[in-house]
Amino acid sequence: MLSKKMVDRINEQINREMYSAYLYLAMAARMQEAGYKGVGKWMMVQYHEEMFHAMKFYAYLQDQGAAVELKAIAKPEFKETTIKELFQHALEHEKGVSGSIREIAALAREEKDYATEGLAQWYVAEQVEEERNATEILQTIDLVGNSAQGLYLLNVELGKRDLGVASDFTKL
Ligand code: OFO
Protein backbone atom coordinates (compact mmCIF):
# COMPACT_ATOMS: atom_id res chain seq x y z
CA MET A 1 0.00 0.00 0.00
CA LEU A 2 1.24 3.45 -0.90
CA SER A 3 1.50 6.36 1.55
CA LYS A 4 -0.76 9.34 0.94
CA LYS A 5 2.35 11.42 0.30
CA MET A 6 3.42 9.01 -2.44
CA VAL A 7 -0.05 8.86 -4.02
CA ASP A 8 -0.15 12.68 -4.11
CA ARG A 9 3.34 12.83 -5.57
CA ILE A 10 2.54 10.29 -8.30
CA ASN A 11 -0.67 12.13 -9.17
CA GLU A 12 1.44 15.28 -9.48
CA GLN A 13 3.83 13.40 -11.77
CA ILE A 14 0.92 12.25 -13.96
CA ASN A 15 0.09 15.92 -14.40
CA ARG A 16 3.72 16.80 -15.23
CA GLU A 17 3.92 14.00 -17.81
CA MET A 18 0.67 15.17 -19.37
CA TYR A 19 2.06 18.71 -19.48
CA SER A 20 5.10 17.25 -21.29
CA ALA A 21 2.74 15.58 -23.77
CA TYR A 22 0.91 18.87 -24.28
CA LEU A 23 4.20 20.75 -24.73
CA TYR A 24 5.43 18.37 -27.45
CA LEU A 25 2.02 18.42 -29.12
CA ALA A 26 2.19 22.22 -29.29
CA MET A 27 5.73 22.00 -30.70
CA ALA A 28 4.52 19.42 -33.25
CA ALA A 29 1.83 21.84 -34.40
CA ARG A 30 4.33 24.73 -34.77
CA MET A 31 6.77 22.59 -36.77
CA GLN A 32 4.05 21.15 -39.02
CA GLU A 33 2.73 24.66 -39.68
CA ALA A 34 6.27 25.79 -40.56
CA GLY A 35 6.59 23.00 -43.14
CA TYR A 36 8.95 20.82 -41.11
CA LYS A 37 6.76 17.72 -41.29
CA GLY A 38 9.55 15.39 -40.18
CA VAL A 39 10.37 17.40 -37.06
CA GLY A 40 6.62 17.64 -36.42
CA LYS A 41 6.35 13.86 -36.60
CA TRP A 42 9.25 13.45 -34.14
CA MET A 43 7.45 15.78 -31.74
CA MET A 44 4.18 13.89 -32.22
CA VAL A 45 5.90 10.58 -31.42
CA GLN A 46 7.28 12.27 -28.30
CA TYR A 47 3.74 13.38 -27.40
CA HIS A 48 2.71 9.69 -27.42
CA GLU A 49 5.76 8.74 -25.34
CA GLU A 50 4.80 11.31 -22.73
CA MET A 51 1.22 10.03 -22.63
CA PHE A 52 2.67 6.56 -22.09
CA HIS A 53 4.76 7.89 -19.18
CA ALA A 54 1.65 9.45 -17.64
CA MET A 55 -0.47 6.35 -18.16
CA LYS A 56 2.17 4.00 -16.76
CA PHE A 57 1.93 5.90 -13.47
CA TYR A 58 -1.87 5.94 -13.79
CA ALA A 59 -1.94 2.14 -14.18
CA TYR A 60 0.49 1.78 -11.26
CA LEU A 61 -1.79 3.74 -8.91
CA GLN A 62 -4.71 1.57 -9.92
CA ASP A 63 -2.67 -1.62 -9.43
CA GLN A 64 -1.92 -0.38 -5.92
CA GLY A 65 -5.59 0.37 -5.19
CA ALA A 66 -4.90 4.12 -5.01
CA ALA A 67 -7.06 6.87 -6.51
CA VAL A 68 -6.01 8.66 -9.68
CA GLU A 69 -6.65 12.40 -9.42
CA LEU A 70 -6.33 14.36 -12.60
CA LYS A 71 -5.52 18.06 -12.35
CA ALA A 72 -5.69 20.90 -14.87
CA ILE A 73 -2.93 20.83 -17.48
CA ALA A 74 -1.19 24.18 -17.93
CA LYS A 75 -1.03 25.88 -21.32
CA PRO A 76 2.29 24.93 -22.92
CA GLU A 77 4.45 28.06 -23.03
CA PHE A 78 7.35 28.55 -25.41
CA LYS A 79 8.38 31.51 -27.53
CA GLU A 80 11.07 29.71 -29.50
CA THR A 81 10.54 29.26 -33.23
CA THR A 82 13.67 27.65 -34.71
CA ILE A 83 14.30 23.90 -34.58
CA LYS A 84 17.44 24.46 -32.51
CA GLU A 85 15.64 26.64 -29.97
CA LEU A 86 12.80 24.13 -29.64
CA PHE A 87 15.19 21.29 -28.90
CA GLN A 88 17.09 23.49 -26.42
CA HIS A 89 13.76 24.11 -24.69
CA ALA A 90 12.99 20.38 -24.80
CA LEU A 91 16.38 19.51 -23.28
CA GLU A 92 15.93 21.98 -20.41
CA HIS A 93 12.42 20.67 -19.88
CA GLU A 94 13.67 17.07 -19.74
CA LYS A 95 16.36 18.00 -17.20
CA GLY A 96 13.56 19.34 -14.99
CA VAL A 97 11.55 16.14 -15.44
CA SER A 98 14.62 14.07 -14.53
CA GLY A 99 14.83 16.03 -11.26
CA SER A 100 11.16 15.40 -10.62
CA ILE A 101 11.62 11.64 -11.16
CA ARG A 102 14.62 11.64 -8.83
CA GLU A 103 12.39 13.14 -6.13
CA ILE A 104 10.01 10.19 -6.47
CA ALA A 105 12.89 7.71 -6.34
CA ALA A 106 14.28 9.44 -3.22
CA LEU A 107 10.87 9.52 -1.50
CA ALA A 108 10.34 5.83 -2.28
CA ARG A 109 13.73 4.98 -0.78
CA GLU A 110 13.03 7.10 2.29
CA GLU A 111 9.67 5.32 2.80
CA LYS A 112 11.16 1.87 2.09
CA ASP A 113 8.54 1.66 -0.67
CA TYR A 114 10.42 -0.85 -2.81
CA ALA A 115 7.64 -1.27 -5.39
CA THR A 116 7.65 2.43 -6.25
CA GLU A 117 11.44 2.54 -6.08
CA GLY A 118 11.53 -0.22 -8.72
CA LEU A 119 9.09 1.66 -10.93
CA ALA A 120 11.01 4.91 -10.44
CA GLN A 121 14.15 3.19 -11.73
CA TRP A 122 12.39 2.57 -15.04
CA TYR A 123 11.72 6.30 -15.31
CA VAL A 124 15.29 7.18 -14.25
CA ALA A 125 16.61 5.11 -17.18
CA GLU A 126 13.98 6.61 -19.48
CA GLN A 127 15.09 10.13 -18.56
CA VAL A 128 18.68 9.28 -19.52
CA GLU A 129 17.31 8.41 -22.95
CA GLU A 130 15.12 11.53 -23.11
CA GLU A 131 18.06 13.84 -22.37
CA ARG A 132 20.36 11.92 -24.73
CA ASN A 133 17.85 12.17 -27.61
CA ALA A 134 17.57 15.96 -27.31
CA THR A 135 21.34 16.36 -26.83
CA GLU A 136 22.17 14.26 -29.92
CA ILE A 137 19.71 16.18 -32.07
CA LEU A 138 21.22 19.48 -30.86
CA GLN A 139 24.70 18.18 -31.75
CA THR A 140 23.47 17.33 -35.26
CA ILE A 141 21.88 20.77 -35.59
CA ASP A 142 25.21 22.35 -34.65
CA LEU A 143 26.94 20.21 -37.28
CA VAL A 144 24.62 21.27 -40.09
CA GLY A 145 24.67 24.93 -39.02
CA ASN A 146 22.61 27.12 -41.32
CA SER A 147 22.88 24.77 -44.28
CA ALA A 148 19.45 24.49 -45.92
CA GLN A 149 20.42 21.07 -47.29
CA GLY A 150 21.47 19.96 -43.81
CA LEU A 151 18.17 21.08 -42.27
CA TYR A 152 16.28 19.34 -45.06
CA LEU A 153 18.10 16.07 -44.33
CA LEU A 154 17.59 16.49 -40.57
CA ASN A 155 13.88 16.97 -41.19
CA VAL A 156 13.78 13.76 -43.26
CA GLU A 157 15.78 11.88 -40.63
CA LEU A 158 13.62 12.97 -37.68
CA GLY A 159 10.51 12.03 -39.65
CA LYS A 160 11.64 8.38 -39.57
CA ARG A 161 11.04 8.12 -35.83
CA ASP A 162 8.59 5.36 -34.94
CA LEU A 163 6.49 5.01 -31.85
CA GLY A 164 8.45 2.88 -29.40
CA VAL A 165 5.79 2.55 -26.71
CA ALA A 166 2.25 1.21 -26.37
CA SER A 167 -0.46 3.64 -27.36
CA ASP A 168 -3.36 1.38 -26.36
CA PHE A 169 -3.60 2.16 -22.66
CA THR A 170 -6.21 -0.54 -22.04
CA LYS A 171 -3.30 -2.98 -22.19
CA LEU A 172 -1.12 -1.37 -19.52
FE1 OFO B 1 8.21 11.91 -19.60
O2 OFO B 1 9.87 12.19 -20.18
FE3 OFO B 1 9.90 13.64 -21.24
O4 OFO B 1 9.09 14.82 -20.21
pLDDT > 70: percent of the chain: 100
Determine the Cα–Cα distance for residues 108 and 102; give it in Å rounded to an integer.
Answer: 10
- What is the Cα 111 distance to its own chain's centre? 26
CATH class, 4-163 region: mainly alpha
C-beta neighbour count of 122 within 10 angstroms: 12
35 CA from centroid of ligand 1 (Å): 25
> If you take atom 3 of ligand 1, which residue's CA is the nearest one?
94
DSSP string covering 18-63: HHHHHHHHHHHHHHHHTT-HHHHHHHHHHHHHHHHHHHHHHHHHHH
90 neighbors 27 (Cβ within 8 angstroms): yes
The whole-model pTM stands at 0.96
pLDDT of residue 153: 96
Determine the Cα–Cα distance for residues 47 and 19; give it in Å rounded to an integer.
Answer: 10
Higher pLDDT, 172 or 128: 128
Contacts of 94 (CB under 8 A, 6+ apart): 127, 130, 131, 134
Contacts of 6 (CB under 8 A, 6+ apart): 104, 107, 108, 111, 113, 116
Q: Is 130 in the pocket of ligand 1 (CB under 6 A)?
A: yes
Q: Is 51 in the pocket of ligand 1 (CB under 6 A)?
A: no
> If you take atom 1 of ligand 1, which residue's CA is the nearest one?
50
141 neighbors 88 (Cβ within 8 angstroms): no
Report the mean per-residue pLDDT for the chain: 97
Buried b / exposed e over 90-118, threshold 16 CB at 10 Å, is: bbebbeebbebbeebbebbeeeebeebbe
Is residue 162 very low, low, confident or very high in pLDDT (cuts 50, 70, 90)? very high
Q: Which atom of ligand 1 is nearest to the CA of 20?
A: 4
Determine the Cα–Cα distance for residues 93 and 90; give it in Å rounded to an integer.
Answer: 5
Which of 17, 57, 58 has most ligand 1 atoms within 8 Å of CB, for mutation? 17
14 CA from centroid of ligand 1 (Å): 11
Q: What is the pLDDT of residues 29-75, one digit of tens each?
A: 999 999 999 999 999 999 999 999 999 999 999 999 999 999 999 99
- Of 90, 18, 91, the C-alpha closest to 51 is 18
Q: What is the pLDDT of residues 152-161, one digit of tens each?
A: 999 999 999 9
pLDDT of residue 171 exceeding 90, the answer is no
